Every structure is written in structure tokens, then in C-alpha cells.
Chains A and B, each alone.
Chain A
Amino acid sequence: MTARMDEGTNALEPSASVETRLAALELAHQHALREIAELKGRDTLKTQFLANISHDLRTPLTAIITHAEILRDGILGELSARQHESVAGIIGGGRRLLEMVGEILTYARGAANQLEIVPTEVAVGDVIEQVRRLNESLVARKELCLEIQVAPEVPHVWADREKLAHILGNLLGNAIDFTPSGGRVWVHATARHESPRDTVLVEVGDSGIGIAADHHELIFQEFAQVDASASRQHHGTGLGLTIARRLVELHGGRIWLESELGRGSRFFFTLPTQPQP
């Protein structure tokens, strides 16, 4: 918009007549509107493309994984230890790829406003436990200490169970990913009295590498990673937090963090305890 106005600077100069200046402004305005419309159109196309391609990627991946599992489970005959190891590698790689494709699909649907939540009364503690179990082996492998604390008075939340698990999974996944071996990771849930609705505050924290204040905004943006270089240690889509934020906001909650480089991170989000009045 500013760039466009600059072009019309002459006409906009105080020496020009009011009519000329108004006409120039109107022209610049029209131009800006057209550009916005065109950019929006292109963005929609790109989002739709992402949604389509990730959906189509799932199907052949399904074939790869299922065929490999049939082999692994000995349905077509016993495998040698080495064959078993190799087939397990195909399955592990395939499942990881599927997860990433799933994240891209969720992101694209969110960006296209196609994500819907179906809230019910949910016990946060149960979902935390479900997500803890899913991450158990990772936590053990990195020799992390994972502590869960759900205050006894924490009420049920009004949330979409699957989506809540997704939010927690992404935050806990990050806490595990960005904490060196032997570190601490925790999930706490407490009740908060807020108006107009009481909420539950969930904290996912870690004693890991931390995030500089400069990056606190950036990391919630799609594809953004603090270390985006090709040599980076961590391999992910950079969509985990974008999705987490989108899902929290769909519930009417808030998400934020407290962190400093080298001093661990604490991510917080709130969820309502009752339907919107």
C-alpha cells in the first residue's frame, strides 16, 4: 500500500489540487484492493493444493505401510532377524512420513478454515495420560524425566478430545525434541477462575535449549523454525505450533510461552470449561 502511494507522490503533493490528490488516492486504493484480491486468490490455491496433495500422498503410503506390516508379522512366512529389521525400518519411516503428511493436511485445512471442532466434556487428565503413553518410548530413549501433575480440583474442559490430544502431542513432542538427554519435561494442569468462563490452564515445560525472546512470535508462524538451515539437527515441518495455536483458538482459548535461550521453555494454553454462553 505504501509502495503504491509513493508512485503517486507527485499528484499527492500539497501543491496539487485537492481533486487531483483525491483521484490519485482513489487510484492507489483500487490498485491495492486488486493486489490483495489476487494474493488472496493465489494463497487459497496454494492451500488447496497442499490439502489435495497431502491427502493423495496418504494413499500410496498406506499401501507401503500395510504391505510391510504383513511381511513383518510373518503372514507370508517367517523372516530372518535381518529381514525383520529391514522391514521394521520401512514401517518406521513410513509412519513418520505419514505423521508429517497429516500435519500438512491439518495445517492446510486450518488455513482454509475447514477445521471444525466437536467439543464435549473432556477430562484433561485422561488426554494427558493418553499423550504421555504415546511418548513413553521417546522419553525413555532420551532418558528424560517426565512429570505429570493434574490438580485434583481441575474441572472438565469443553473441548474436542482428538484436537486436545493433538495440541498436547505437538507441545510435548517439542519439549522432548528440544531437551537434551537427561533433562526434565513436565505437563501441569490447573484450574483458573476467569470471566466470562472458567478455564483450565495447561503448561507444557522443559529444561531444554530454550528460545530467545526474538523468536517467540516467529515460531508460531507456519514453517518457521529457529534453526531452519539445511544442517539443522531437528527435522520437522515447522507446523506443530501453528497447528497448536489454531486448535487452541478454535476452542476459544489462548496460547503463549515463557522462555529464554538456554533456560528451558514453558508453553501455556487455556481451554474453556463450559460452552460459549
Chain B
Amino acid sequence: MTKEESRPLVLIVDDSPHVTGPLRILFEETGRRVVVADSIGSAVRACEAERPDLMLLDVSLADGDGLSVLEILHGRPALPAVTVALTGHDDELTVQRCLAAGCRDVLLKPVPVRDLLRHAAEWLPERIASA
């Protein structure tokens, strides 16, 4: 395994560059690789082709409900080990829907950078340890 590939891979799914732009900088500057997808379709393709370790998923994408990415990949090896929902609303209904769909966590945008870094260490434990 090359050094490049040993770094954990984060897939950021959001249809706004306002969200993906800063997150890409954050994760790349802290030792992770980043792939970005802006729709349900491209997120599914990215999971299949790149096998990310962590997926950060916006629940409202331009082409529909972001959680359907999880539905489509359900039970398939391309499903990332950890998916975390990033949402604009943290109301109880949204939170319950995300957890029921299999998200590890539900975080309200903008997630404080410190929280993201702290959580990322939990979400990506093995790869961090071996990196």
C-alpha cells in the first residue's frame, strides 16, 4: 500500500461548494484524502469506485433525499463503514430519520471545526492508528 492510499478517504456529499470547499481544506490539511459528490447518483458512484472510509452526507440534495444513498447501497460492500449526516435542521424528526437510515451521527451545519476534528478521530479510528 502506498503512503497516499494509507490515508483515510472522506467522501463529502453536498450540492453546495460553500459546504464542500472548506471541508475539503479541513480534511486534506489534517491527513485525509477527500472526494466530493453533489448528487445521489454521483455519491453512489463515488462509493462504488473509491470505497470511502467515511461519508459526510447532506440530507437534502438537489436530486432528492440524501438518505437514499444509504438505501441504494444497503447491504453492499460499497457502503462506507461510517456515514454521518450533515443537516440544516436539527429538529427531532430529521434526527430520527437520519439515525433510522443508519447514520452514526447527525450534525447541524455549520459543524464547529473543533467538533469535526474530534469526531473524525472517532469515525476513522483504525486507519488513523495504522497511518
Say if the beta carbon of A66 comes within 8 Å of chain B.
Answer: yes
B112 to chain A: closest residue by CB:
A69
Known: A62-B18, A70-B26. A118 touches B93 (CB 8 A): yes
The chain B residues found within 8 Å of chain A, CB to CB, are: 16, 18-19, 21-23, 25-26, 29-30, 88, 90-93, 96, 109-114, 117
Taking the closest CB of chain B, its distance from the CB of A109, in whole angstroms, is 9
Known: A62-B109, A69-B113, A69-B114. A162 touches B90 (CB 8 A): yes
B113 near A160 with CB under 8 A, answer: no
Say if the beta carbon of A63 comes within 8 Å of chain B.
Answer: yes
Known: A69-B112, A70-B113, A73-B113. A63 touches B91 (CB 8 A): no
B25 near A59 with CB under 8 A, answer: no
Contacting residues, chain A, for B19 (C-beta < 8 A): 59, 62-63, 66
* The 5 nearest A-B residue pairs measured at CB: A118-B92, A63-B18, A69-B113, A66-B22, A62-B110
The chain A residues found within 8 Å of chain B, CB to CB, are: 55, 58-63, 65-67, 69-70, 72-73, 75-76, 98, 116-118, 160-162
Taking the closest CB of chain A, its distance from the CB of B76, in whole angstroms, is 31
CA distance A66 to B109 in the complex (A): 9
A66 near B91 with CB under 8 A, answer: no
Taking the closest CB of chain A, its distance from the CB of B68, in whole angstroms, is 21
B21 near A63 with CB under 8 A, answer: yes
CA distance A116 to B89 in the complex (A): 12
B113 near A66 with CB under 8 A, answer: yes
A70 near B25 with CB under 8 A, answer: yes
CA distance A70 to B23 in the complex (A): 9
A75 near B29 with CB under 8 A, answer: yes
Residue of A59, A72, A76, A162 touching B18 (CB-CB under 8 A): A59
A160 to chain B: closest residue by CB:
B92
Taking the closest CB of chain A, its distance from the CB of B21, in whole angstroms, is 6
Taking the closest CB of chain B, its distance from the CB of A189, in whole angstroms, is 21
Contacting residues, chain A, for B26 (C-beta < 8 A): 66, 70, 75
CA distance A72 to B30 in the complex (A): 15
CA distance A23 to B110 in the complex (A): 60
Residue of A55, A61, A73, A160 touching B110 (CB-CB under 8 A): A61
Known: A66-B22, A69-B112, A98-B110. A75 touches B30 (CB 8 A): yes
B114 near A73 with CB under 8 A, answer: yes
Counting chain A CB atoms within 10 Å of each CB, the highest count among B29, B30, B88, B91 belongs to: B91
8 contacts between A and B (CB under 8 A): A58-B88, A59-B18, A63-B19, A66-B26, A69-B114, A70-B29, A73-B113, A98-B110
CA distance A245 to B114 in the complex (A): 34
CA distance A66 to B110 in the complex (A): 7
